[in-house]
Structure 1
């Protein structure tokens, strides 16, 4: 038997709840007592709460509720873990190698039928996601570790392509995966306020000697989403957007994060949103444009006017392309 098999066997024996000496374990497994000691040390190093009671009536035992915890997963739990690992790895999860090792351990203690089922379910799930390079994964690991330890970082960050990188102290409160990108949220010591940063725009990260305490009940996810959405749908500065169309088109529109979070009323043929006026003049028209005649904007007039302007600009752009193409062919 391998060392892993010996460790698992010892764990099963200790789960009985009674104290067992090293000699009794060695006799039960038909191994040398030194093998038992090595396996016990490895189990303790892996986090199993094994206690050694010395003296008459002593022996090894497991502390607390661990003895009652299941050591194996059923088929549904195995499938869920494999699928979750696929999603995490494809999303650029920073500890992907450890995740692979964990799934490999899961497969190690399965029979041929169970292993075939795990592999079959693993082939049935895929995720399309932009690749995350090694540097970004390294930054994510540093940020997650610093967040857990309360360790401040020195960060060099470039906000945009044409902006110069800025050096700042940063207290990372957490990392968030949103819409295909990783973000970190925390206290920026340069601006002296909580901010969010895209991890793929970080140029350098270094651990510092400074420490920090994360605010109680702080949610990095809530902060990031709160910065992207209006604080209240009852805000007087928001405009009502009324859109009619086929149910399928409205359903697709509602899946977009902005429309989904600003929806206030919906039926089969119409959806009503409360949205910031600035967004209606910038990116909202470009998101609505691909729907063409499948959607009809009933209000506000400012969005209808902006849609007409954007459509005309796009039409002129492609007309110029068509004319240039014709000139090239004639020449």
Structure 2
């Protein structure tokens, strides 16, 4: 074990409140007695209230108040940390190795009853996420560390269908995980504004000799959410969108990232009211509603009903043309 592990183990053994000799500690931990002395010296230097009693019945013990204080987490806290590690690992958290070591260390210093309790609860939780590629994990590590140190990065970024990646210098402010995708938010020196970028589209990162200060009140999460939500939500032209339908369909719709932020009222059974930007009703909102089929009805506005009819007709014509082509090939 490392010196830190030995020190923590000694503290754990001393929490019994009984006097323990250096030789007993060495035997329990299977280390040399000189290692025990060095660890106790380090603990005392760190402020741990270890008392050394001399004489035939002497030994080491902890000050009473320190024995009564919680050295580790209680069972509920341990369970929560293990569950959180599962979520982080499946979400593609870039420092999973360190997280796993921390959880292993947590389990190592629990008794058999606590460990059995933790394992029983952790086995009942599972998280399903699309695996994060190892290359993306390395990019996330570099981005997070650069953000913490205030170091700018030279970034090659692939934009959509453009054949060659664009180059820019980025001041990374923070990484954000949203809907199964990792983003980096930062100040783009090419565009001279704060922007967000998908990490899976980053081709290359290279450290440059430039330092930056992240704005004190800046929130990468809030910026990303504002940039992904429709611009029309913050515009003056907001339109009431009233829907009725099956409760399960309305429940799912209210969990949607767009509709969830636009929810105004859901007091009547089988009915819900949103406020959405007029432009969004003409563009992507109809495509979000299409999968719900006949489980939803639009009560207002009429413009959304008309647009849904147009989109449905376009879809019908699209697949009808495919059907004709297939039949011609067979003929």
TM-score range, shorter chain: 0.7 to 0.9
Residue deviations 1:102-132 (CA, integer Å, cap 9, x gap): 1111222234443333233222222221221
**Contact 2:230–2:280 (8 Å) recurs in 1:** no
Alignment of 1:159-170 (within 5 A): 159-162=159-162, 164-170=164-170
> Which consecutive residues of structure 2, in runs of 5 or more, have no partner in the other structure?
50-59
Equivalent residue for 1:134? 134
Equivalent residue for 1:97? 97
| TM-score normalised by structure 2 residue count | 0.82
Residue deviations 1:269-302 (CA, integer Å, cap 9, x gap): 3222222233222221111001111111122233
Equivalent residue for 2:282? 281
User: How many angstroms does 1:100 deviate by?
Assistant: 1.2
Equivalent residue for 1:57? none
Change over 3 Å in CA distance of 1:66–1:307 after alignment to 2: farther
**Contact 1:49–1:66 (8 Å) recurs in 2:** no
Residue deviations 1:147-179 (CA, integer Å, cap 9, x gap): 111111111112213353111111111111111
Equivalent residue for 2:240? 240
| TM-score normalised by structure 1 residue count | 0.82
User: How many angstroms does 1:38 deviate by?
Assistant: 4.8
Distance 2:234 2:8 in 1: 59
Distance 1:11 1:100 in 2: 22
Change over 3 Å in CA distance of 1:66–1:161 after alignment to 2: farther
Asked if 1:183 is matched to 2:183, the reply is yes
Change over 3 Å in CA distance of 1:234–1:162 after alignment to 2: closer
Distance 1:134 1:2 in 2: 28
Distance 1:2 1:229 in 2: 49
Asked if 1:293 is matched to 2:294, the reply is yes
Aligned-residue RMSD, C-alpha: 3.4
Residue deviations 1:236-268 (CA, integer Å, cap 9, x gap): 222222222233321211100110101122222
Equivalent residue for 2:56? none
Alignment of 1:1-331 (within 5 A): 6-12=6-12, 26=22, 29=25, 32-39=32-39, 50-51=46-47, 70-162=70-162, 164-229=164-229, 235-267=235-267, 268-328=269-329, 330-331=330-331
Change over 3 Å in CA distance of 1:26–1:232 after alignment to 2: farther
**Contact 1:52–1:61 (8 Å) recurs in 2:** no
**Contact 1:240–1:300 (8 Å) recurs in 2:** yes
Change over 3 Å in CA distance of 1:12–1:117 after alignment to 2: closer
Aligned residues: 314
User: How many angstroms does 1:30 deviate by?
Assistant: 5.0
